[in-house]
Amino acid sequence: MTIKLNTDEHSKQSNISKIKSFRKQNRPTSELVDGVLKGDISALAMAITIIESRIDKHRVPSQEIIAKCLPHSGKSIRIGITGVPGVGKSTFIESFGSTLTSMGKKVAVLAVDPTSSISKGSILGDKTRMQELVRDPNAFIRPSPAGSSLGGVARKTRETILLCEAAGYNIILIETVGVGQSETAVHGMVDFFLLLKLAGAGDELQGIKRGIVEMADIIVINKADGENLKQAKLAKVEFSRALHLYPPKKNGWIPKVLSCSASENTGIVEIWEVIQAFVEESKNNDHFFSARKEQNKYWLLQSIDDLLKQEFYQNEKVKSLLVRMTKEVVEGKISPFTAAEELLKLSKTP
């Protein structure tokens, strides 16, 4: 690859910028890994970009990066944070993350933004919403598009967790888009699952019915301040009562219900204390480590699904037949199941 440089005197600075940009984008894999292990944020960001990429030339480098970072991962607490849009996830994460960094923790925030089904674009505005945390030297914020993934997680969130751990971040916060899809995708990759709720939004009883409550290790009533404080206290009581209706968790943990005000930074320390108690209890009864093994197993199965899907659509025979099959399905000449079966058979032929 060549860089086209401007020759006039006034463009020297522009040429220098182009060269620096080219070198940054084409750093050797070994150099990127060394940078990640040293906590270099630019190296970490570039490594994540490579593993998120769908470009064929990045496939081998991404595998090398993951393989070399894997032995240095696993030494963190992975926390999933979910809740409906408008519950204040970004404000909560900024307050929570800042509290943790003030305690000497290194915090990585993996914020997943919803992807438009029409334009296929994402705003990726979490850094804008976390203006204080983004300037914190002990925090790293990485917004990624959810794409077509269910559960509001990016396609490579698991690998990103691994890289952040290798870079020395001991608290990993995963913010989902909170759209009510299969949140088990998040639950299957974290140690602790935090559900944010609002009081007075008319969803107290509806929220109790949702399966997501059963997965939560803690329910936090956010925006418990001002005129909303009384309603927050009532919601806390309602959810506490409702949790008794659910079967006990396998690890013996009894989910807690707390309230906080992320904007006023109240109740945040108490939430961290509950998380610490959960981790300590889970490690004492070995559930923490057995859950991590299950996460790795799920990661394997998901990776197999991704690779099979990728190979299917990259198959040249499938590509040529897919257009015709799609047209016939649209016109009602053939059933989607029959078309899919024929395409799968074709992909298996040598």
How high is the pLDDT of residue 13?
54
Q: Architecture of domain 296-348 in CATH?
A: Orthogonal Bundle (1.10)
24 band by pLDDT with thresholds 50, 70 and 90: low
- Is the pLDDT at 207 greater than 80? The verdict is no
Token code pair at residue 288: 């923490």
Q: Which of 45-59, 145-159, 296-310 is predicted least confidently?
A: 145-159
How high is the pLDDT of residue 85?
79
Domain with CATH 1.10.287 in the chain: 296-348
How high is the pLDDT of residue 156?
83
- Is the pLDDT at 2 greater than 80? The verdict is no
- Is the pLDDT at 247 greater than 50? The verdict is yes
Distances (CA, A) of 126 to 31, 131, 173, 208: 29, 9, 13, 28
- Is the pLDDT at 16 greater than 80? The verdict is no
User: Contact 64/157 with Cβ under 8 angstroms?
Assistant: no
Domain 9-70 has CATH 3.40.50: no
Mean pLDDT computed over every residue of the chain: 83
How high is the pLDDT of residue 241?
87
Q: CA-based Rg of the chain, rounded to a whole angstrom? A: 23
pLDDT in tens, 91-104: 999 999 999 999 99
How high is the pLDDT of residue 114?
54
How high is the pLDDT of residue 10?
53
- Is the pLDDT at 59 greater than 80? The verdict is yes
10 Å CB burial of residue 319 (0-12, 13-18, 19+) is exposed
Q: How many residues does the chain have?
A: 350
Q: Architecture of domain 73-285 in CATH?
A: 3-Layer(aba) Sandwich (3.40)
Mutual angle of helices 12-25 and 41-52, in 10-degree steps? 60
How high is the pLDDT of residue 82?
87
How high is the pLDDT of residue 26?
67
Domain with CATH 1.20.5 in the chain: 9-70
Question: What pTM did the predictor assign?
Answer: 0.83
| Other CB atoms within 10 Å distance of the CB of residue 3 | 10
